[in-house]
Amino acid sequence: MITGLTEYSESLKAAKKNSEDRKQKTELRSDLFSAVWSLFGKEIIMSESVGLFSRQIALIAVVLVLHTYIGLHIIRRTLIFSDLVLDQLAAFGALVGVALHIAYGSPLSYLLAMSAVLFGSLLLALINPKNREIPREAVIGILYALALVISLLLTDKLPGGDIYVEKTLTGYLSWVSWPLVIVTIIVYIALLLFHYKLRHKFIALAENPQTLKNEKLWDFLLFTTQGIITVLIVPIAGVLLAYAFLMIPAAIATMFTRKWAGAVVLGWSIGFVACLIGLGSSYFFNFPYGPSLVLSLGAFFIGALVLRSLRYRKGYE
Amino acid sequence: MSQLLEMLSLPLVACIMMGGILGYSGIHVLKREVIFIDIALAQIAAVGSIIAHLAFEAEEGALLSYVFSFSCVLSIAMFYALVRRRVIQISIEAVIGISYAIAAAAALFLIGLAPGHVHVEEMLAGSLLWIQPTDVIWAFIAFSAIGACFYIFQRPLSTISQNYQDAVTEGVRVVWWDFLFYGLMGIVITIAVRAAGVVVVFAFLIIPATVSALFASRWAARLLIAWTVATISSIAGLLFAYYLDFSVGPAITLFLGSALVIATLLSRLHKAGSIKVTR
């Protein structure tokens, strides 16, 4: 995700050359194309992009509810790295699939990713250092580094492996189709019902875990939920956007209210508005959609920080 | 044997230097619970060098590119210091983690303005094996200067790391000292990541400090343990990578990780043993 500049400048040159070649070809085609375009092309493409836009909006609206709620848990308990651990393990599962000649994105590859994620949730739930000098976040960070490293060592021995490392970082929100939206929505609603039903347990886990009998079990269920939504959303949105969906609306809400329901409503509303702005600007100015969405969410986050720091003595209202 | 020495001596020197400065700052990082700091600052430095490239066509490693990276890192250091003081509702770790996502999106966005293919893997894993003697000398000068700063300002920095609220009530000027701390961290991380990649730097920062916390609580003892762990893991990782033909960075990280696992088991055994003795 961090980008080497030399490769970048080389790729710039390649892209420039590529676009020159393409320009020549398009000039040849453009006359014919413009004739067809003026007849009916515009209408079809317009309605298609409107369709895609509404699919993306529908997906974001549903996804944000659960992400905001899970994000609240993660932010309040400072387990920020857990999302990257699960992302990386999902990617590792898919990479193992590639090594075993299982196609990327096939059901079996999803299954491998899911088992890696379940293993990760188990580790996250079980490892909880009692030493006060070692914060839990540090252990989670180390798990992330190790998950990343085994992925890198695996790709070392895999022909073309580096391509897959990149594939897992960016997503394909532009490929969103209705069946995918429907599957995602059904799973999300099931998870939402589950969390609504057991909300007292999970909130106790965040606020006073001593009162819970099986703290590790509830931790495991929380991380498993996070893992399931990771496996579903990362191929579509990419690691970065999935992480931003989880963290930013929840972080904004946490700054302004201590109530759980209020925070979900506040986080969802701000997150949704920010996503609309990001998605809209990516359409109108032709910006890359993923980074636009994250930057739009980020702008709201910085705005909230500034607002909060201006009146920092007042605490919660 | 001589070929082995020739190949690995420079990377080993670089590793020992990084282990030295990162092992010390890692203890601060653990005490402050700002684990994300390495990844976030590295990403922000990368944004700086991309801006330098887009605006002035500065190559990576050019002076201008470093100037831009350092300015970005110092501005964000001020930002963290201010937010830590004035926003009490969310942890600074969350703010740092989110700033990483925003910076990564900004980098992708800037590159998206001029589309191209980017090698993610190399930046993550680094290319420690091909480090040049001049890089090592520059890093040595920079790390010594920063180490001296850490030594001179040891007292206020560790007071804040130990307990932020106490430092505030004692009247320590937390925002300025925090700015100094994050600024120094930023410079160390920018230099180290260019040489070794994000993952290795992260491992050198967090793992030796964690191992040392298992066995000691005094600064001097923790430092000694952290430095020993870093050095032994570097040697083992370099040899492993050399003989079995793996990337150096991931191999060293793997050995640091194994050192932590072994240390955890040892400390468990040690505790179990001492309980038996007291009984």
CATH number for position B159 = 1.10.3470.10
Residue type, B144: S
The C-alpha atoms of residue B73 and residue A8 are separated, in whole angstroms, by 21
The string of pLDDT tens digits covering residues A4-33 is: 444 444 544 555 555 555 554 444 444 444
Confidence (pLDDT) at A27: 46
Cα distances (angstroms) measured from residue A146 to each of A94, A209, A269, B243: 16, 28, 36, 21
The pair of structure tokens assigned to B2 is 């001589």
Neighboring chain B residues of A294 at a CB cutoff of 8 Å: 101-102, 104-105
Q: How far is B119 from chain A (nearest CA, A)?
A: 7
Please give the DSSP secondary-structure letter assigned to residue B198: H
Answer whether B87 touches A (CB < 8 Å): yes
Lowest-pLDDT range, A172-181, A223-232, A234-243? A172-181
Q: What is the pLDDT along chain B (279 residues), one digit of tens a residue?
A: 677 777 788 888 889 999 999 999 999 999 988 998 988 998 898 888 888 888 877 776 678 888 898 999 999 999 999 988 888 888 899 999 999 989 988 888 887 665 444 445 555 666 777 778 888 888 889 899 999 988 888 888 888 888 888 888 888 888 899 999 999 999 999 888 888 888 889 999 999 999 999 998 888 899 999 999 999 999 999 999 888 888 888 889 999 999 999 999 998 887 776 655 544
Q: How many CA atoms lie within 13 A of B266 on its CB side?
A: 10
Confidence (pLDDT) at B79: 93
**Residues A208, B58: contact at Cβ < 8 Å?**
no
The C-alpha atoms of residue B186 and residue A160 are separated, in whole angstroms, by 34
Q: Residue A15 and residue B114: Cβ atoms within 8 Å? A: yes
Residue B279 is assigned to a structural domain of this protein: no
Confidence (pLDDT) at A39: 45
Q: Residue B89 and residue A316: Cβ atoms within 8 Å? A: yes
Q: What is the enclosing helix (H) or strand (E) of B52?
A: helix B37-56
**Total domains present in chain B:** 1
Q: How far is B85 from chain A (nearest CA, A)?
A: 9
User: What mean pLDDT do residues A245-273 have?
Assistant: 92
Answer whether B49 touches A (CB < 8 Å): yes
Helices (H), chain A: 5-36, 42-76, 82-99, 107-126, 136-156, 161-167, 178-197, 199-207, 215-256, 260-284, 289-310
Positive or negative CA dihedral for A161, A80, A185, A52? negative
Q: Report the b/e string of B34-55 with b at 16+ CB within 10 A.
A: bbbbbbbbbbbbbbbbbbbbee
0.90 cut: is pTM over it? no
Length of chain B: 279
Q: Which of A287, A280, A264, A218 is nearest to A64 (CA)?
A: A264
Q: Above 50 in pLDDT, residue A262?
A: yes
Q: Residue B246 and residue A254: Cβ atoms within 8 Å? A: no
* Structural domain boundaries enclosing B103: 2-274
- List the single residue in A11, A162, A251 with the smallest CB-CB distance to B94: A251
Query: Which is more confidently placed, A25 or A175?
Result: A175
Neighboring chain B residues of A152 at a CB cutoff of 8 Å: 121, 124-125, 199, 247, 249-250
Residue type, A286: N
Q: How far is B145 from chain A (nearest CA, A)?
A: 27
Percent of chain A with pLDDT over 70: 76
Q: Residue A145 and residue B206: Cβ atoms within 8 Å? A: yes
Answer whether B98 touches A (CB < 8 Å): yes
- DSSP assignments along A285-313, one per residue: S---HHHHHHHHHHHHHHHHHHHHHHTGG
Confidence (pLDDT) at B114: 56
Confidence (pLDDT) at B47: 87
- Structural domain spans, chain A: 58-314
Neighboring chain B residues of A8 at a CB cutoff of 8 Å: 50, 53, 111, 116, 118
**Residues A76, A254: contact at Cβ < 8 Å?**
yes
Q: Residue B120 and residue A240: Cβ atoms within 8 Å? A: no
Q: Residue A243 and residue B199: Cβ atoms within 8 Å? A: no
Give the B window 11-30 contacts with A, CB below 8 Å.
Answer: 30
Give the B window 239-278 contacts with A, CB below 8 Å.
Answer: 246-247, 249-251, 253-254, 257, 260
**Residues A112, A96: contact at Cβ < 8 Å?**
yes
- List the single residue in B107, B124, B257 with the smallest CB-CB distance to A146: B257
Q: Residue B87 and residue A255: Cβ atoms within 8 Å? A: yes
Map tokens 């994105």 to a residue: A105
Q: How far is B95 from chain A (nearest CA, A)?
A: 8
The C-alpha atoms of residue A92 and residue A164 are separated, in whole angstroms, by 10
Confidence (pLDDT) at A43: 46
The pair of structure tokens assigned to B108 is 């992708």
Residue B45 is assigned to a structural domain of this protein: yes
The pair of structure tokens assigned to B204 is 């050198």
Q: How far is A308 from chain B (nearest CA, A)?
A: 6
Confidence (pLDDT) at B246: 80
pLDDT band at A212 (very low <50, low <70, confident <90, very high): confident
- List the single residue in B117, B198, B251 with the smallest CB-CB distance to A11: B117
Q: Residue A152 and residue B250: Cβ atoms within 8 Å? A: yes
pLDDT band at A183 (very low <50, low <70, confident <90, very high): confident
**Residues B22, B204: contact at Cβ < 8 Å?**
yes
Burial class (CB in 10 A: 0-12, 13-18, 19+), A76: buried
Q: Which of A122, A144, A314 is nearest to A222 (CA)?
A: A122
What torsion do the CA atoms of A203, A204, A205, A208 make, to the nearest 10 degrees?
130
Q: Residue B112 and residue A255: Cβ atoms within 8 Å? A: no
The pair of structure tokens assigned to B31 is 């005490």
- List the single residue in B33, B214, B249 with the smallest CB-CB distance to A135: B33
- In the CATH hierarchy, which fold is given to the domain comprising A58-314? ABC transporter involved in vitamin B12 uptake, BtuC (1.10.3470)
The pair of structure tokens assigned to A316 is 């919660």
Confidence (pLDDT) at B70: 92
B276: how many CB neighbours lie within 10 A of its CB? 8
Map tokens 């949730």 to a residue: A121
SS3 B91: coil
Please give the DSSP secondary-structure letter assigned to residue A96: H
**Residues A165, B121: contact at Cβ < 8 Å?**
yes
Confidence (pLDDT) at A40: 45
Confidence (pLDDT) at B119: 47
The C-alpha atoms of residue A75 and residue B252 are separated, in whole angstroms, by 31
* Chains A & B: contacts with CB separation below 8 Å: 220
Q: Which of B17, B8, B1 is nearest to B138 (CA)?
A: B17
- List the single residue in B46, B90, B115 with the smallest CB-CB distance to A255: B90
